[in-house]
Amino acid sequence: MIFESITELGLSGVYAIRFRRHLDKRGYFVETFRKSQFRVPPLDRHFVGSEFLQCNESFSLAGTIRGLHFQRAPAAEIKIVRCLSGRIFDIVLDLRRDSPTFLQWQGIELSADNGKALLLPQGCAHGFQTLTDEVQLLYMHTAFYEPAVEGGIRFDDPRVGINWPLPATQVSARDQQHPLLPDDFIGIQV
């Protein structure tokens, strides 16, 4: 088994994953993906008919906020996010219309030291704030990036009410221009 632990967080279908580290005097080795391991409970219900198709990496400086991003059908995606260096406050916002945790958010610290990863199901928006300088993230996606179906919600949307741990020092123009959630937002069908 490649997992040391799989913990469902406060949002339905959102998991913190810790991969098993094999330590010795040189450091450690971690296997972070084996298709068959994602086909066992409790993860199997999310991966029916899904494959990881794209992998991205980002590098950010302290205080940077990226997000909140998501993709709609037909390119809705399951995403796994890992922090390879530094520390982040990672956010998941549930946009799934029929979810019991609709419009609730969850934050978790991911770091190179704690070795946790975050698994987000389809229909959730993702964002993060860097807590240290020189943060490197790795993302795995079950759908290709499709600009025509991408969406975003502004990081400081008062309706969402995310408590970012630091002042926002760097936010892209694109992310600053994401809309606020409308009062009549009915969610995403997944």
Which residues are annotated as catalytic? Answer: 69, 139
- Give the span between the Cα atoms of 146 and 91, in whole angstroms: 21
How crowded is residue 90: how many other Cβ atoms within 10 Å of its Cβ?
A: 25
Cβ neighbors of 131 (< 8 A, separation 6 or more) are 62, 86, 87, 88, 89, 109, 165, 166
Cis preceding-peptide flag for 68 (omega within 30 of 0): yes
- Give the span between the Cα atoms of 2 and 6, in whole angstroms: 11
* Alpha-carbon dihedral sign for residues 128, 47, 150, 159: negative
72, 147 Cβ separation under 8 angstroms: no
88, 111 Cβ separation under 8 angstroms: yes
